[in-house]
Amino acid sequence: MSGRDVLIVEDDEAIATGLSLNLRLAGHRPTVARDGDEALARVDAADFDMVLLDINLPRRNGLEVLQAIRASDNVVPVIVVSARDGETDKVAALRLGADDYVTKPFALAELLARIDAVLRRAQPAHAGDAAPVATGDVLTFSDVTIDLAQRTVTRGGTPVKLTHLEFELLVFFVRHPSQVFARARLLAQVWGQNAGSPRTVDNFVGQLRKRFEDDPEDPRHFVTVRGSGYRFDP
Amino acid sequence: MSGRDVLIVEDDEAIATGLSLNLRLAGHRPTVARDGDEALARVDAADFDMVLLDINLPRRNGLEVLQAIRASDNVVPVIVVSARDGETDKVAALRLGADDYVTKPFALAELLARIDAVLRRAQPAHAGDAAPVATGDVLTFSDVTIDLAQRTVTRGGTPVKLTHLEFELLVFFVRHPSQVFARARLLAQVWGQNAGSPRTVDNFVGQLRKRFEDDPEDPRHFVTVRGSGYRFDP
DNA sequence: GGACTTCTGTCAGGATCCGGTCATGGCCCG
DNA sequence: CGGGCCATGACCGGATCCTGACAGAAGTCC
């Protein structure tokens, strides 16, 4: 897809430049407006393919800006960004003709996906140039299913109870299959800075084996690599 | 969340009825199409929340169907199911705008999890393009009914009194089911920028439990995910 | 093959962290 | 001034986690 012209209306410097950078990476041509007046001026001046509109703005509320845009019969797609998930804001924005609504803090990937979706809807894209597409937030191996959003795990359809760190370790393993990790590395990656003793890792691997190996004595997924650490094989 | 309309495109009778049955058990409303032409006709005719699309089809290849769906600017979520594990198919499917990809033979639990994930992801976007919302918009779960316009809540027909923030939190949960949220995230989303202490969230969740759980000691809807936050299960 | 060394699996005690609950106090609005 | 509403901190019980010890397995060297 050849890039599109996107207007970012955002007064927070950090967010604005961050978004700008990412949109450029995605192949678009972003422009930034710092407040409501500037936004309206730019929308009138140039022909944008879409507008990313923060609600909290100096000089003019984002909703006012949206209203002004639509009042001038401009149908440019608008995604409204707000810090609050409040009912009123959302309903108001959609009523005023917003195309989508995102609340801060947003996952960057989500926002980019929505931008793509809105652009795609607004202007039918040609068949080969679709975006990378996110894959589901579900991980699997063998008969085990991990739902990251729900933070639930099932094995053969029946739910498995895991503690916080057990879950984290499991996810790390499944995301890095067939790779040997030293205990120290696992401590750093999963436990974070204040790492504990290497013995801790053993305990947790033991738990995972108890819960996911057919025969915990003879593990096929959570394999010990003597002298080096552990490896996960799907 | 009330069930969703799912179109199953699958020529194998046994698989089709099996999936259909399971989706119905999961609370959705499945429809089956036997070949590519029928699939396209049904997609055009009705408004599905997602499509489960087999690649090997009589009359038309699944990828052709997907291409046709996207060509008509339809952004309905699509999960592609294929017997072949080929990378090429997968890449092609994702390029054409598939939302996820599963290879046969699949674990039923995995497929169901992926369907849930895709529906979950699609939900907010749909709220956006699915019309003005506004008056008469009602959310429900279990025997609870939430009237957004009136800002009233009833449980089993009898009205429940909620404070402002209790209502906002409830709506947020019901709008984002089966997803774990950290306290900080809830504070940001529901309370707004000037977030308070995490303890506040506990108190409000406690209130919701008192009002909507049959047994507040053993909550089934407003679930604690120790170490991570809270999750709402309808 | 046998003995020594090194490493890993396991267990249980105790420290620690986390979440539910309650009470207090501020705030806003009537 | 009074009454909801909301934020905060303290407290407690319980889940979870860390650690050290020990035994047994695996590897090594002769």
Q: Could you give the angle at the alpha carbon of B165 between the alpha carbons of B164 and B171, nearest 5°? A: 95
Instruction: Give me the CA B196–C1' C26 separation in Å, rounded.
Output: 14
Chain C positions under 7 Å from a protein CB? 6-12, 18-23
Each domain of chain B, given as residue ranges in start order, spans 5-121, 127-232
Q: Phi/psi class of residue B78: alpha, beta or left (left: φ > 0; alpha: ψ in -120 to 50)?
A: beta
pLDDT in tens, B118-143: 888 776 533 433 333 333 478 888 88
- Smallest Cβ–Cβ distance between B171 and the set A87, A151, A156 belongs to A87
Tens-place pLDDT, residues A82-126: 876 665 666 667 667 777 778 776 767 667 777 877 776 665 433
Q: What is the mean pLDDT of residues B51-61?
A: 87
Specify the DSSP element, H or E, that contains A59.
none
Q: How many CA atoms lie within 13 A of A64 on its CB side?
A: 12
What pLDDT is attached to residue A86?
A: 62
Which of these, A84, A10, A94, lies nearest to A51 by C-alpha position?
Answer: A10
State the average pLDDT over residues B52-60: 86
- Per-residue pLDDT, B87: 64
Q: Provide the phi-psi class of A197: left if phi over 0, else alpha when psi is between -120 and 50, else beta.
A: beta
Residue B32 backbone phi and psi in degrees, to 5: -115, 135
Q: What CATH number belongs to B5-121?
A: 3.40.50.2300
pLDDT digits (tens, 9 = 90+) for A143-202: 899 999 899 999 988 999 999 999 999 999 998 888 899 999 899 889 987 777 889 999
What is the total residue count of chain A? 234
B 15-34: CB within 7 Å of strand C: none
The reply to whether residue B134 touches residue A91, judged by beta carbons under 8 angstroms, is yes
Residue A153's pLDDT is: 95
DSSP B174: H
Q: What is the mean pLDDT of chain A?
A: 81
Q: Is the CB of B164 under 7 A from strand D?
A: yes
- Give pLDDT, residue A124: 42
Q: Which of A55-59, B92-96, B135-139, B209-213 has the lowest mean pLDDT?
A: B135-139
Contacts of A25 (CB under 8 A, 6+ apart): none
Say whether pTM exceeds 0.85. Answer: no
Q: What Rg do the C-alpha atoms of chain A give, in angstroms?
A: 24
Q: For residue A71, is pLDDT > 90?
A: no
Tokens of A13: 């410097």
CATH of B127-232, one of 1.10.3720.10, 3.40.50.1580, 3.50.50.60, 1.10.10.10: 1.10.10.10
Kindly determine whether the C-beta of residue B194 is less than 7 Å away from any atom of nucleic acid strand D.
no
Question: CA-to-CA distance for B82 and B107, rounded, in angstroms?
Answer: 13
pLDDT tens by residue, B146-185 = 988 788 899 988 899 999 899 989 999 998 889 999 998 8
**More confident of the two residues A223 and A194:** A223
Within this chain, domains B5-121 and B127-232 share the same CATH topology: no
Dist CA A6 CA A2 (whole Å): 13
Cβ–Cβ gap A105/B188 under 8 Å? yes
Q: Under DSSP, is residue B67 helix (H, G, I), strand (E, B) or coil?
A: helix
Does residue A41 surpass a pLDDT of 80? yes
Measured CA distances, A232 to A220, B15, B107 (Å):
8, 32, 20
